[in-house]
Amino acid sequence: MKAIINIQFQLIDLFQGNNQIRSYPISSAKNGVGQEINSLRTPLGKHIIRAKIGAGEPLNTIFKGRRPTGQIYTPDLGARFPGSDWILTRILWLSGCEKGFNRLGSVDTMRRYIYIHGTPDSTEIGKPGSIGCIRMFNNHLLELFDLIEIGAEVNIVEQ
């Protein structure tokens, strides 16, 4: 199983062998693509799922530092903290595979804490809006989380 994230079309396509089995809308970085730390951009290239975090947690669980806080996101909570980049439900932590491009040094995807993660239902998906990560609707993320394994290839391409 592998995934291809297409920045132009704001989609993540999941493949079993050569057969596409799922397609989900996503939201990548509002600042575009880029590899550098602190760029708030989505990194390109070949990655793997390094860790799957949050199995068994309730829908809309809030994560801080990759740990569940024990809180569940609600619209009221969102209204109290406008502009927050919520990490909800599950985390698929990405690790770059291309030394000098998205692995090691100032371009290391994993050290940049780039995830595929859930977001509030009110967040606009299908256009760039994150601060580097890949946002997904929570129900789509739950399905992807169950289908994809640690070590699976994730390619992030511009088109």
Closest CA to 135 of 4, 1, 5: 5
Predicted confidence band of residue 97 (pLDDT cuts 50, 70, 90): very high
Q: Which domains does the chain have, with CATH numbers?
A: 26-152 (2.40.440)
**pLDDT at residue 82, as a whole number:** 87
Specify whether the CB–CB gap between 50 and 148 falls below 8 A. Answer: no
Is the pLDDT at 156 greater than 90? The verdict is yes
| Tens digits of residue pLDDT in 19-66 | 999 999 999 999 999 999 999 999 999 999 999 999 999 999 999 999
**pLDDT at residue 83, as a whole number:** 83
Specify whether the CB–CB gap between 94 and 115 falls below 8 A. Answer: yes
Please state, in angstroms and rounded to a whole number, the distance separating the CA atoms of residues 118 and 102: 23
| Residues of the chain above pLDDT 90, percent | 97
| Tens digits of residue pLDDT in 124-138 | 999 999 999 999 999
Q: Which residues contact 147 (CB under 8 A, 6 or more apart)?
A: 1, 14, 21, 22
Please state, in angstroms and rounded to a whole number, the distance separating the CA atoms of residues 143 and 69: 22
- Residue 74 vs residue 83, higher pLDDT: 74
Beta bridge mates, 131? none
**pLDDT at residue 159, as a whole number:** 87
| Tens digits of residue pLDDT in 107-116 | 999 999 999 9
C-beta atoms surrounding 67 within 10 Å: 11
